[in-house]
Amino acid sequence: MSDKNSSRFLVAFNKIEKLLKEINASKDYVTFFKSIDLASRKNATVRKYEDDLREFADLRNAIVHHRTSTEYVIAEPHTEIVELIEQIEVLLSQPVTVGVMFARQVHTFQADDTLAKVLRIVRAKGFMQWPIYDGEEFAGLITSGGIARWLIQTREEETISREITTMRDILQHEKDGRNHRFIASATSVYEAEEIFKESVLSGGGLEALLITRNGSKKEQLTGIITPIDLIKIE
């Protein structure tokens, strides 16, 4: 016989309660609601599912405090509720990181590469964000917006040579480094999602998150996230 939904729910709830305590590094007893408050300041997954967790606490109280016997509970959760709380428990205990979900080989260019060379590669690969290096040092991120601004600034020139124009020239038309941010590979995918959303709300022009092992621009790129990639997170 399969476990009752209430039993599955309580098992997952107790695991989440323990995980929240670990996130908060709490030694003293605090209520589940208070644990949510504290953990939401540190953990993006908790923030994403905060409302669900609060509803789970109410349901848990209904199950435990109104139980008429060990075999009968007054509130038997729907299967979709049980599946959701079990999913959240897994997300908290085994966080999905950007280093796992978005790991890929990132094609980079040198500052002295010509626009013609870059466009040939971009046409074949189809990507629209181009990390630029000056030797081994990260120089900036070129985007389609930067290309457009460069074209506008040079519109009065009789001819625009793609063989002469370099990435260094176009970098001058990007947003002073505000179009990208470096993050560590251990960053939660939900935290990455929040970074993009906060950029939109603040009027920023963030177009890519660049992933390295520890979030330093001096490290090798191990992945890149663009706004369109957020579809994978949902």
Do 154 and 202 reside in the same domain of the chain?
Answer: yes
Domain that holds residue 52: 5-92
Work out the pLDDT band at 2, boundaries 50, 70, 90: very low
CA distance 200 to 94: 28
* pLDDT given at position 157: 59
Average pLDDT over residues 148-173: 75
Average pLDDT over residues 90-97: 95
Please, how many CA atoms are within 13 Å of residue 229, restricted to the half-sphere of its CB? 21
Is the predicted pLDDT of residue 12 greater than 50, yes or no?
yes
Residue type at position 126: G
Average pLDDT over residues 182-193: 96
Is the predicted pLDDT of residue 158 greater than 70, yes or no?
no
Q: Of 66, 92, 118, which marks where a domain is finished? A: 92
The SS3 assignment for 141 reads: strand
Do 54 and 110 reside in the same domain of the chain?
Answer: no
* pLDDT given at position 1: 32
Do 129 and 86 reside in the same domain of the chain?
Answer: no
Do 132 and 84 reside in the same domain of the chain?
Answer: no
Do 11 and 81 reside in the same domain of the chain?
Answer: yes
Percent with pLDDT over 90 in the chain: 58
Please say whether the dihedral angle defined by the alpha carbons of residues 110, 112, 117 and 118, taken in this order, is positive or negative.
positive
CA distance 84 to 79: 9
Lowest average pLDDT, out of 15-24, 30-39, 120-129, 164-173, goes to: 120-129
Straight-line distance from the first to the last Cα atom of the chain, in angstroms, rounded to the nearest whole number: 33
Work out the pLDDT band at 229, boundaries 50, 70, 90: confident
Do 115 and 32 reside in the same domain of the chain?
Answer: no
Cβ neighbours of residue 168 under 8 Å, at least 6 residues apart? 111, 112, 132, 134, 139
Average pLDDT over residues 32-41: 96
* Residue tagged 């504290």 (tokens): 38
Do 119 and 57 reside in the same domain of the chain?
Answer: no
* pLDDT given at position 55: 96
Residue 232 DSSP label: G
Looking at the structure of the chain, the number of domains it has is 2
Do 68 and 112 reside in the same domain of the chain?
Answer: no
Residue 134 or residue 62, greater confidence: 134
State pLDDT tens for residues 170-186: 898 887 678 999 999 99
Q: Which CATH number covers residue 140? A: 3.10.580.10
Do 118 and 204 reside in the same domain of the chain?
Answer: yes
* Residue tagged 């900036």 (tokens): 140
